[in-house]
């Protein structure tokens, strides 16, 4: 299975897609706004820029900011990578060493909406999450009653926390890269990182898909660790008592499973061996994703969805429980 670049159709938790639609027909159809979830100090040695970008990826924008401010790109901070084929709004931090005048910064597809200051560089994963506004076009027949029922399920029960298809590259192409790296091919640092994340994401999705098929993706099982909603903190479960079951049902905690690394036992063996040789640390990721502020509006031939997710979550994990594209 891993020798092909075709991604599996991971198990769905809430039933078959209710309608077919077109996703990302235009960049404005997929909008993402980063939510820091904490206050800036209004002073300090870092400018914080809240930037709207279109047709540009996060790392490219970071390079443009570094060039303008005349600082190394490694000193530019951002909390997460945002889609290129979308309108996205996110924070960047830039050292004030050269006191840049941002009014003269003109980068195609980039607009500075806010300028603040803070005492520290913005770290990866330091944001609370993201809010999404997504327009789905060219709908097949849509019936509102089953859609409303499905929306209620997604809100009350959450969705499987799959890594999105973009994690695996265009048409799953990063799977081929992972095979090359695991087979011994030397890769540049960035591509090596893509290969590693592809392997870990694929194995996670495979395990999660099995749990969804068994209807245990949203239930604590012996051997699971618990993931605390909102913080990402993970703790062991010596015993699963009634209190933990109630907290899981209330989505205060979620079952989690391994992000494989050195010491993990999984198939295929050459992937396992490659991660071990690279000394990739094991991690944990929640099996379930809480969806907040979920709304839907149906207008003629399109649907507009709005919702918010925690950091590290993919909007497509929500969409695939509602529709196909």
Q: Of 9, 29, 43, 83, which one is the catalytic site residue?
A: 83
> How many angstroms separate the CA atoms of 16 and 207, rounded?
20
Q: Is 50 exposed, middle or buried (0-12, 13-18, 19+ CB in 10 A)?
A: middle
Residue 72: exposure state from Cβ atoms within 10 A (0-12, 13-18, ≥19): exposed
- Phi, psi (5° rounding) for residue 81? -85, 135
Q: Which tokens belong to 92?
A: 């960047």
Active site residue 236: no
Strand partners, 309: 130
User: Could you give the CA distance from residue 258 to residue 234 in angstroms, rounded to a whole number?
Assistant: 11
Bridge partner list, 292: 308
Question: Do 256 and 234 meet the contact criterion of CB atoms below 8 Å apart?
Answer: yes
What is the chain's length? 325
* C-alpha angle 222-224-226 in degrees, rounded to nearest 5: 125
| Pairing of β 87-95 and β 110-118 | unpaired
The token duo for 239 is 């015993």
Strands 283-286 and 292-299: unpaired
Pairwise CA distance, residues 115 & 111, whole Å: 11
Give Cα 239 distance to the centre of its chain: 31
Q: How far apart are CA 164 and CA 142, in angstroms?
A: 25
Q: Which residues are catalytic?
A: 83
């Amino acid at each position: 299975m891993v020798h092909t670049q075709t991604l599996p159709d991971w198990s769905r938790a809430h039933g078959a897609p209710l309608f077919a639609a077109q996703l990302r027909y235009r960049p404005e159809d997929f909008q993402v706004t980063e939510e820091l979830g904490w206050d800036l100090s209004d002073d300090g040695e870092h400018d914080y820029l809240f930037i709207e970008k279109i047709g540009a990826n996060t790392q490219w924008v970071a390079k443009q900011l570094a060039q303008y401010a005349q600082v190394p790109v490694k000193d530019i901070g951002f909390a997460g990578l945002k889609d290129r084929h979308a309108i996205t709004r996110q924070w960047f931090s830039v050292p004030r060493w050269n006191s840049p005048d941002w009014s003269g910064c003109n980068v195609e597809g980039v607009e500075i909406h806010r300028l603040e200051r803070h005492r520290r560089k913005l770290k990866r994963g330091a944001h609370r999450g993201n809010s999404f506004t997504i327009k789905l076009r060219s709908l097949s027949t849509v019936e509102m009653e089953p859609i409303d029922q499905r929306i209620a399920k997604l809100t009350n029960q959450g969705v499987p926390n799959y890594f999105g298809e973009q994690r695996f590259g265009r048409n799953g192409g990063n799977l081929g890269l992972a095979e090359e790296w695991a087979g011994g091919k030397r890769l540049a640092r960035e591509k090596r990182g893509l290969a590693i994340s592809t392997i870990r994401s694929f194995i996670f999705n495979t395990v999660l898909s099995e749990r969804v098929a068994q209807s245990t993706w949203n239930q604590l099982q012996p051997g699971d660790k618990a993931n605390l909603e909102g913080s990402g903190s993970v703790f062991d479960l010596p015993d699963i008592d009634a209190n933990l079951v109630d907290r899981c049902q209330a989505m205060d905690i979620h079952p989690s499973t391994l992000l494989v690394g050195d010491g993990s036992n999984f198939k295929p063996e050459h992937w396992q061996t490659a991660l071990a040789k690279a000394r990739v640390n094991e991690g944990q990721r929640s099996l379930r994703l809480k969806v907040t502020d979920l709304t839907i509006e149906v207008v003629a031939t399109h649907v507009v969805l709005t919702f918010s997710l925690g950091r590290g979550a993919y909007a497509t994990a929500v969409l695939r429980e509602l529709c196909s594209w």
